[in-house]
Amino acid sequence: MKERVSMKIRQRTALAALAISTGLVVTMAGCGGSDDGKAESKSTASAKQTSGQDKAEEKPSSSPSSEQTLAEVKTNGITLTVTSAERDQGGFLTLSGKVTNASGKFWNATGWRGDEHELRTNGSSLAGASVVDKAGKKKYLILRDTQGRCLCTKFEGGGVAVGQSADWYGQFPSPPEGTTTVEFQVGDMPPATVEISEGE
């Protein structure tokens, strides 16, 4: 009788232990699932945050790049700006920039075409412009074709309206490679000293 009671007690103890063990396993599995969910949630949030940072870093800068000014001269409300002076391998020197009219009246560019008889057919243009190589003591006139037409800007309408700007260019024979600066002059504008850059 005692043996039967003892066996029943052992069986109950074993069943109780099994139940407790099973409960612990289920509880641990539940906890593990909960942690995994949190980990996934944290991982997703982190990925979204990183993605947002990447997008912010990829945003292009909204500040516009300003055009370089090599020289600027003024007279009677007219401003001449030189933004490029480039020597190419073909033996030419090309200058370009802007002319702005703040004189309060229409500016007629006929005074820039030069006094030479063959240049008169160029109308309002930079035909009378020149560059001076002070180191080499040489003056270079603007290039022109056999008909006397300059390789330069011809201003539409004869000039520039009040408060307006116009782009210009002029092409000259290139000074020697040792010459790094020249003086550009046109019409009654003061000389503008510009540094030459090497083109292709």
pLDDT tens for residues 45-95? 444 454 444 444 444 443 334 578 999 999 999 999 999 999 988 899 999
Q: What is the pLDDT of residue 196?
A: 95
Q: Is the pLDDT of residue 3 over 70?
A: no
Q: Does this model's pTM top 0.85?
A: no
Tell which residue, 113, 85, 79, 112, has the closest CA to residue 98: 79
Q: Is the pLDDT of residue 152 over 90?
A: yes
Alpha carbon distance 105, 110 (integer Å): 15
Q: What is the pLDDT of residue 95?
A: 97
Where is mean pLDDT largest: 18-22, 113-117, 191-195? 191-195
Dihedral angle of Cα 35, 38, 42, 43, to the nearest 10 degrees = 70
Q: What is the pLDDT of residue 55?
A: 42
Q: What is the pLDDT of residue 22?
A: 42
Least confident of 1-10, 107-116, 118-127, 177-186: 1-10
Least confident of 11-25, 79-93, 101-115, 184-198: 11-25
| Higher pLDDT, residue 115 or 9 | 115
User: What integer is the mean pLDDT of 138-142?
Assistant: 96
Condensed to tens digits (0 to 9), the pLDDT of residues 164-182 reads: 999 999 999 999 988 999 9
Give the end-to-end CA distance of the chain in Å, rounded to a whole number. Answer: 113
Residue 10's pLDDT band, with cuts at 50, 70 and 90, is: low
Three-state secondary-structure class, residue 127: coil
Q: What is the pLDDT of residue 198?
A: 85
Residue 11's pLDDT band, with cuts at 50, 70 and 90, is: low
Per DSSP, 155 falls in state -
Q: Which helix (H) or strand (E) holds 108?
A: strand 107-108
87, 196 in Cβ contact below 8 A? Answer: yes
Q: Is the pLDDT of residue 26 over 70?
A: no
Alpha carbon distance 127, 118 (integer Å): 10
Q: What is the pLDDT of residue 163?
A: 96
Q: Is the pLDDT of residue 125 over 70?
A: yes
93, 175 in Cβ contact below 8 A? Answer: yes
